[in-house]
Chains A and B, each alone.
Chain A
Amino acid sequence: MTRLIASFVVALTIGSLANFLDQGPRTRDQGPTFAWRLPLGFPTPRVPDDNPMTLEKVTLGRYLFYDTRLSGNGSQSCATCHEQARAFTDGRAKAVGSTGEQHPRSSMSLANVAYSPVLTWANPTITRLEDQALVPMFGDHPVELGLAKPGDELIRRLKPVPQYQRLFREVYGDNAASFTMENLTRALAAFERTIISGRSPYDRYHYGRQDDAISPSARRGEQLFFSAPLSCFRCHSGFTFSGATDFEGRRVREAEFHNTGLYNLAGPLTYPPPNTGIFDVTTKPEDMGKFKAPTLRNIAVTGPYMHDGSIATLEEVVDHYAAGGRTIADGPYRGVGHDNPNKSPLIQGFSLTSDQKSDLIAYLKTLTDEELLHDPDLANPWEAR
C-alpha cells in the first residue's frame, strides 16, 4: 500500500501513530516456512523478524488490501490507487484520496516492493511496509484513505465481518485482542511482499535463456539501455530495475535518490513544492529534487510517468532524458531542467535515431509481466466469492 504522501508529513505521521499501536498477541504467528512463489533467478525477500510470512496472513492481508472499509467514508481501499491490472498503480498523473483531495504525487507500483530498501518516492526514513501502511490510512496531508486515528473505529468495523473473524483467528490466535492495528498492518505488509513481478518476456529471455522470448528490436534496445551514453541501468539497476535491492543473505544496501533535471525553478526551491524530493525530509540543499528511481518493470502499463505524473508517454520520457533535462518555456514552472544545479551527473543527454528510440521502448515493453496483472492470487478476494 505504497500510496504517496507529502514526505514532510510522513515522518511525523509514523512517529505519532507508533505511539498508539496496540501490541496485540501473536500466538499463532509463527507458521511453517512460507512457500514463496519466486520467479527464476529471484532471491528470497527479507522479512522482518517480527512479521514472519504465513499463507493465512497473506490471505488476511489480501482481504484488507481490497476492502473499502479501510477508508473513512468507505469509498476506497488500497487497491483503488494500486490496481492489479496496472501493475498496482492507478493510471492517474496524481492520485486522488477518498475525500477527493489530490495527492501531490503519482501512485507507485507495488511490484517487487518486498525487495525495496526504501519506500515511497522521496522519504529515506520509511523502510518497512508495516510502517508505510499507516501513512495512507491515517495521513491527513493529504487525506488518502482518511481513517480516524487511532483506528478504533476501523477495528470496530472489521470485527463483525465473518472473513476477518476467521482469518484473524487463524493468523493471530483465538483471542479478541488479536484485532489490532499492528496485526492489521502486518497482514497488509505480508500480502504486499507477495506482489512479485518476474515472469515477463524479459525474464524468459534473461533468466530462462530463451533467445526468442524478446524481439531483435528489444535486444538492440537492451544494448542501448546498458550502454554508457544512456546509462539507464545506472539508476534503474538490479533485477527490480529500481536501484538498490534488499533480500535474504545480502547486506542492506543504501537507497539512492536522483535529481533528473525535470524542473529548474528560479530560487532555492528548484523543484515545485511540495515535490522537492528528499529535501523535504533531510532539508539538505543538495537533496533538492532527488527522488527514488521507480521500477521499470511493467512500465508500459504504469503511466503517466515521473513522480508527479508530468510526462504522459514513454516516448516523451526518453525525450526528456535525451535532452538531459526538461525545458518548460512558460508558466509557473518555467525553467531549463538541463541546468538544474543539483542534477545527477548521469543525466547528460544523448542522441538516438528514431529506430534506436523504438528499440529502447521495445525493450522496456518486454518488462510487462502479464501473469502479475492477472494473477488470481493477487486479485480482489471479495469479488471472487
Chain B
Amino acid sequence: MKAETNVRTTAIDSVALAVIVASLIAVTPTLRGLEQSTPDATLAISGDVSSPLTVSAREIKTMPRTTVTVSEEGRDVKYEGVLVGELLKRAGAPTGRDMTGAAVATYVVASAKDGYRAVFSLAELDPGFTSNDVIVADTVDGKPLFDYQGPLRIVAPHDKRGARSVRMLQKIEVVRLPK
C-alpha cells in the first residue's frame, strides 16, 4: 500500500528543513556521538500511549508508505516514509473518532539526536482528523537521507517553514495536558 500525496510548501530550505527559532523548541547542546553512523537507528514512540514501542529503520520500511513532495530552493523533492499517525496508532494513541476530549488536548514532542525538538498537536498528526500528511521519512528522491538528516526525519509538508521537520529523529513522545 502506498499513498501518494503531492504537497508543496511555499519555501523549505534545502539545507535546513529543521530551522528557525520557535518558542516551543528547546535545544540541549549535545555533540557526543552525533557524527557516529547509525544505520540500525531506532525510533521510540513513548509517553501517554497504551503500547509504547520502538521501531527500527528497517521495520519502518515494511510499513504503509506515504510520499510527500516539497519545494526546496526551487526544486521539487520527494520524501518517502510512514505517516507519524500510523506510528502513533500502533503505539495506542487515540485516533479517528477517539480524537476528542483529552485527545485534542494532547501534544507530541519530536526529538532529534542533537537535542533539537519540535511540538505537534496529536490531532494534526492523525490522518483521520486532518489531511496533513506529516511523515517519518527515510528516503529523499529514492535515496537514503543524508547523514545530517537521517536516517529518519520528520517532514511536515504543509508547514511554510521547515523548523518542525526534525532531522536525525530519535524519539516521539506523547504528552497529555494535565486536567
Contacts and interface: CB of A to CB of B under 8 A. Distances in A.
Interface string A146-162: 00000000000000000
A253 B148 contact: no
B114 A239 contact: no
Count chain B CB atoms within 10 A of each CB in A219, A247, A248, A348 and give the residue with the most.
A219
Contact of B74 (A43, A206, A221, A222): A43
Contacts of B168: 223
Tell me if A's interface is mostly helix, strand, loop or mixed: loop
Interface in A232-248: 233-234, 237-239, 241, 245, 247-248
Interface in A319-351: 345, 348, 350-351
Interface in B113-146: 114-116, 143, 146
B56 interface: no
Interface string B1-43: 0000000001101111011110000010111001100000000
Given A223-B35, A238-B15, A238-B16, A229 B74 contact: no
Contact of B73 (A238, A345, A350): A238
Contacts of A248: 74
A196 to B, nearest CB: 14
Given A206-B146, A228-B114, A238-B13, A41 B75 contact: yes
B170 to A, nearest CB: 13
Interface size class of A (residues with CB under 8 A): 35 or more
Given A228-B112, A229-B114, A238 B31 contact: no
A43 B31 contact: no
Contacts of A234: 16, 19-20
B73 A225 contact: no
A299 to B, nearest CB: 15
B21 A350 contact: no
B29 A228 contact: yes
Contacts of A351: 31
Enumerate the 10 nearest inter-chain pairs by beta-carbon distance, A residue then B residue, closest first: A43-B74, A220-B35, A229-B29, A226-B148, A228-B116, A227-B114, A228-B27, A228-B114, A223-B148, A237-B16
Given A43-B75, A222-B146, A348-B29, 14 more contacts: A219-B147, A220-B35, A224-B31, A227-B148, A228-B27, A228-B29, A230-B31, A233-B15, A237-B16, A238-B16, A247-B73, A250-B74, A251-B11, A356-B35
